[in-house]
Structure 1
Amino acid sequence: MTKKLLAYATYRPHYRLARSAINAALADAAPVSGGRTVAGYDEDAVTMAVAATRRLGGGVTVADHLYFGTTKSPLLDKSCSLTVHAASGMHDRAFVLDLTGLRSGFGALKAASQTGGVAAMADLRTGRPGSAEELDGGDGAAAFLFGDADDAVAEVLGSASVPMEVMDVWRAPGASYALVGEDRFVQHVLGKAVRELVTELGKVTGYTGAATTSVVSTLNRRLAGALAAATGSERVAAAQEAHRQTTGFCGAADIGLLLAAALDAAAAGDTILAVSAGGGADAVLLRALKDGPFATGAGRDGPGKDVGYHQYLTWRGEIGREPARRPARPPVAPPPAFRDSAWKFGLVGSRCRNCGKVYLPPERVCRCGAVDQLQPFPVADLTGTIVAHSTDGLSDSPNPPSVAALVDFGTTGRLLLELTDAAPEDIADDAEVEMTFRRTYAVDGVPNYFWKARPKNRSST
């Protein structure tokens, strides 16, 4: 028995790359319009998945399952879903699982809709310089919470799959970009798969009418529009073309971002067909139970800041820059990271039950003399105020200069944090900031994570 969709949320990075900027750097590139989202130098699939998942609200803390889908896992062998779990505030008996490949976003959706819990998906897409994959790619994340509560956003009518072993898109281990099959071949195969899928979905759900809205996620932008039109829906979501124009194809997260956009535009009673086309086709059919939009969390992210093409390539590691003359960073130390997991990943301090003093990071002994009388004090969802800040022009940050700020949370606890998603001129004392989970640095390719601050109100209404 499928669960109901209780909440959903999306995350798009603060930075954007105009396609005209790519054209300016590559004189032989064909003119194109629009732009794509770009994950910041301190973002990856894990941090974006955390951002989307935390926007789902309090239901995440009691969810029993977490499925994390991506094609760009920052680590292998170690489950990155464990990091998403720790940083999202979920209880410590939940089942968490990594899924991989372009179909992993849909896989997370289907698994969570059947067992309940969270489907989180995040990805970063790139390609050869000037290629369609680079121009049409994008970075982003989405998260969905399924359960049995009565106050649901939508109900799942059913799902179906038509798997096909076909070399339509593939990426060798260690490669930074994917290779794709010949366009006409891919269009023929995936078109056939989607037609069979629509028929199969009608058999599974008993719903033989055309869906109110269809969205299709696939690598080729033109094919995505053609397949959506071929489903026979009453209307093809205008949000699909807007998504490709301003965000781009977000890999494993693309199906989630498109489904969220369709839910935003839905009215109660509308049916939504979400199709993932690649390696065959997969689809889920939902019925909206409320009028949209009803995404949870901070809402849609704002228009963001444009970055140059060279900056994008530097953040992606395609261009190496001269490092700062600073001592080498220490690698991640497993024992202290394990002991301080609640602080490092959840940003949970402590507050004394006797005198109320807050400690950031947490302590066992209070200055009032109380021992082991301190209770957990979560900080990640609090808004802070900058008390003082400083700019470091010689930092080893990939995006110098770096800015550090002393942040006051309106308690007895203050915290020195690095600021992100902001230039020095955007920062001022007394400005409000919010917490965001980010990479701090990497040693030998292994990322270290902690929380940073960024200016509040990065999202629009």
Structure 2
Amino acid sequence: MTGRLLAYATYLPHYRLTRATISTALTGVPSGSGARTVAGYDEDAVSMAVAATRALGAGVREAGNLYFATTDPPLLDKSCSLIVHAATGMHGRAFALDLTGLRSGFGALSVAARSGGVAVLADLRTGRPGSAEEADGGDGAAAFLFGSGDSGDSGEDDAVAEVIGSVSAPMEVMDAWRAPRTGYALLGEDRLVHHVLARAVQEVVAEAGTPTTALVSTLNRRLASALRASVGAAGGADVQESHRESTGYCGAADLGLLLARALDTARAGDTILAVSAGGGADALLLRVLKDGRRSPDRRGQEIGYHQYLTWRGALDREPARRPARPAVAPAPAFRNSAWKYGLAGSQCAACGKVYLPPARVCACGAVDRARPFSVADLTGTVVTQAADGVSDSPAPPATAALIDFGTTGRLLLELTDTPPTGIADGAEIEMTFRRTYALDGVPNYFWKARPKR
């Protein structure tokens, strides 16, 4: 295996839930350190995958393959990777595939490294109230672009790292499982799981060798630390501990988030062994080609335990007295796919006027002379806004704002990820792909505006 990693990006939600908040709500006594990330009420694995993939840059549009890994797909039968494909502007002949299960994150990375393309890992983790899985879980996404990494005119290699090996030791063991239509994972007996996974990790490390940095992703935090230490690598402990303390275990996305953190602080020439321990062990060995550029730590907005339970659907609160929303209409959604998923309006080829949403007829008289014009990557400013305190939003008040994109026109959008104090008129915002609502469990998607990060 000689896959070359050209770019990587991560996405962590705006919200966080401290472990002390959880224990206080359940026992009245604050305990536990750190916090877990929490996807917003309008986020899911698909929307987070879109955010991470778009952050990879322009190379995504030419990628030939897209592998989307999650344990929590919002839709079954219908491929969620197709939504990610449409919302990230990938070309029309790209191959898109869904992978599921806790091992799917490693699978997406391994296959993308072999075939080239994008591996995007996104997940939400939920446990029974009061469980370790609830407190130690986390939500997030990571995306990786693999390709040839050919040198450009400057002669400089574009690759960040190269994959130099992959080892798997699959073992059929009931370590963690979840039945269909259930929200929480069931776990096997600790001593059995620890014994089996320790043996599997030993097998893959024996074949891969001792790296500069080792990372182990597995559900149990203490076991993850013990397995990482058993590899014998000097580096990786700080990265892994920081991730579990401030983010949590992110299911299928966990290995990708760990790997991205390690690449942020790595030096050229380092070797990184990323191990997924579950159902045996799978390992990816990479050689770093460029010094990492550490991303700044970002503190998200803290929320209460009641908000978390509401957003997760575990707390059934009284709904607003509003008319039922319409179901997703397949025909209009298909016809307007470029607008719905790519936020692509139109620009008249005759006079240059931009229309949001797109229009066939221009005020100048030109007909069917428009070209696509996406504003998904543009920033804008809030012109004016209005709040609705009795809406059916799980995070009231719902705020709609008129967004000005400068010379490209204006658009009325819902705001999201706003601080409790709101944002002022004139504030700079950016676009984000989100769920708008769900009817009978089927989500609908469009773009919202959030304060620029």
Is the TM value for this pair above 0.5?
yes
Cα distance, 1:301 vs. partner? 6.7
Match of 2:88 in 1: 88
Residues 286-309 of structure 1: CA deviation (Å, up to 9, x unaligned): 000000127xxxx55721100000
Q: How does 1:29-428 map to 2 (within 5 A)?
A: 31-150=31-150, 151-201=158-208, 208=209, 210-293=210-293, 302-423=298-419, 425-428=421-424
Give distance in 1, aligned partners of 2:37 and 2:206: 35
Per the alignment, residue 204 of structure 1 pairs with none
Q: Deviations over 1:300-350 (max 9, x none)?
A: 572110000011000000001111111100000000000000100011111
Verify the 8 A CA contact 2:3 2:164 in the aligned structure 1.
no
CA distance in 2: counterparts of 1:142 and 1:127, whole angstroms:
22
Partner letter of residue 167 of structure 2? A
d(CA) in 2 for partners of 1:427, 1:30: 32
In 2, Cα distance between equivalents of 1:236 and 1:428: 42
Q: What's the % identity of the aligned pairs?
A: 72
CA RMSD in angstroms, aligned pairs only? 1.2
The residue type equivalent to 1:137 in the other structure is G
Residue 442 of structure 1 is aligned with which of 415, 438, 443? Answer: 438
Q: What residue in structure 1 maps to residue 18 of structure 2?
A: 18
| CA deviation profile, 1:229-271 (whole Å, cap 9, x unmatched) | 1111122341100000010000000000000011111000000
Q: Residues 65 and 96 of structure 1 are in contact (CA less than 8 Å); yes or no, is this contact kept in structure 2?
A: yes
- Cα distance in 2 between the residues matched to 1:132 and 1:390: 40
**Mapped partners of 2:359, 2:367: distance in 1:** 9
Q: Which runs of 5+ in 1 are unaligned?
A: 202-207
Q: Contact 2:24–2:31 at 8 Å: present in 1 too? A: no
Give the Cα–Cα distance (whole angstroms) in 2 for the partners of residues 273 and 65 of structure 1: 24
SS at match of 1:368: coil
**AA matched with 1:21:** T
Tell me the CA shift for residue 122 of structure 1. 0.4
Q: 1:451 aligns with which of 427, 435, 447?
A: 447
Does the Cα contact within 8 Å between 2:66 and 2:119 map onto a contact in 1? Answer: yes
Supply the AA of the counterpart residue of 2:230. Answer: A
Report deviation, 1:413: 1.7
Asked if the contact 1:237/1:262 (under 8 Å) is kept, the reply is: no
Residue 77 of structure 1 aligns to which amino acid in structure 2? D
Partner Cα distance (2:2, 2:225) in 1 = 29
TM score, norm. by length of structure 2: 0.97
Shift of 1:372: 1.2
Q: Deviations over 1:82-136 (max 9, x none)?
A: 0000001100110000000000011000010000000001000011111110110
Contact 1:67 1:96 in 2 (8 A): yes
For residue 424 of structure 1, report the CA deviation from its aligned partner. Answer: 6.2
Conservation of the 8 A alpha-carbon contact between 1:14 and 1:302: no
Larger CA deviation: 166-175 vs 234-243: 234-243
Output the amino acid matched with 1:159.
S
In the TM superposition, residue 30 of structure 1 has moved relative to its aligned partner by: 8.2
Count of residues paired in the alignment = 446
Q: Which runs of 5+ in 2 are unaligned?
A: 151-157
The alignment partner of 1:411 has SS state of: helix
Output the CA distance in 2 between the equivalents of 1:254 and 1:301. Answer: 18
Cα 1:301/1:117, change in 2 over 3 Å: farther
Report the CA distance between 1:3 and its aligned residue.
Answer: 2.1
> Would you say the 8 A contact 1:11–1:300 is kept in 2?
no
